[in-house]
Amino acid sequence: MAGLSYSGLITNIRNYTEVDSNVLTTDVLENIILNAQYRIMRDIPIDADRKIAQDNLVTNQEHANVPAGALFIRAVQVADSTADFNNPIFLQKRDVTFLDEFNNSRATGRPKYYAMKGGATGNTNTTSGAILLSPIPDATYVFKIHYNAMPATLESSNTTNFISLNFPNGLLYASLVETYGFLKGPSDMLALYEQKYKEEVQKFANEQVGRRRRDDYTDGTVRIPVASATP
């Protein structure tokens, strides 16, 4: 199988650091691996985590719940009908203060603007992470939310995920940076794997937010400078 499994990553971390399970226990490594995954997810928006959720707005309700597990919202669309998503428009994102000023009379109509309220949504739909709308919906418009979701993390109960299978070297280097930080040295090894991680995450970024977001016909071929030998 390509990539790394959970157990393979644990073995690699112990082998690279030459530290056994008496110090790098399973609990310690599980936290290290989790921190490494969060770092990667925040460094690079991964296409595999892109999702679309569709639902109906509630008449006279100024907010819509964000989908469970959403990390961030990419766009919000509103349309007249559910059957064929008729006459859709993309809402314009604004700050909450803009919506307060724009709609201080609490006018109703088809929404034109949205703003984010609250933080992360966790695993269930909740108003603690909500999309505020203005004007307030005057009908049950259908809406689509384009967002990036929190992926399933690599752990003992989930032995592979997209990062472990498609970016195993970056996950390993990010984990080794976390590990050497936990072990408090040596500093040269920490610096080595930090540099290796940065090199690999740049290549991964070229794929995820570069090549995957463009095509040769509309954008032209991706050109990456390659240093040549000095004559």
Note the pLDDT tens digit of each residue in 125-180.
Answer: 554 568 999 999 999 999 999 999 888 899 999 999 999 999 999 999 999 999 99
pTM score: 0.79
Question: Is pLDDT above 50 for 107?
Answer: yes
Query: pLDDT by residue (tens digit) across 11-70?
Result: 999 999 999 999 999 999 999 999 999 999 889 888 889 999 999 999 999 999 888 888
Tell me what the mean pLDDT of segment 90-100 comes to: 92
User: For residue 219, what pLDDT band results from cuts at 50, 70 and 90?
Assistant: low
- H helices of 103-186, in order, are 162-166, 168-183
In the prediction, which pLDDT does 127 show? 46
Answer yes or no: are the C-beta atoms of 177 and 190 closer than 8 Å. yes
Q: Phi and psi dihedrals of 23, rounded to 5?
A: -100, -55
Question: Is pLDDT above 80 for 119?
Answer: no
Q: Phi and psi dihedrals of 12, rounded to 5?
A: -65, -40
**Out of 39-48, 137-146, 192-201, 208-217, least confident range:** 208-217
In the prediction, which pLDDT does 82 show? 62
In the prediction, which pLDDT does 226 show? 65
Instruction: Say which residue the tokens 């752990």 belong to.
Output: 155
Parse the chain into domains and list their residue ranges: 6-46+152-213, 50-149
Tell me what the mean pLDDT of segment 196-213 comes to: 84
Answer yes or no: are the C-beta atoms of 56 and 137 closer than 8 Å. no
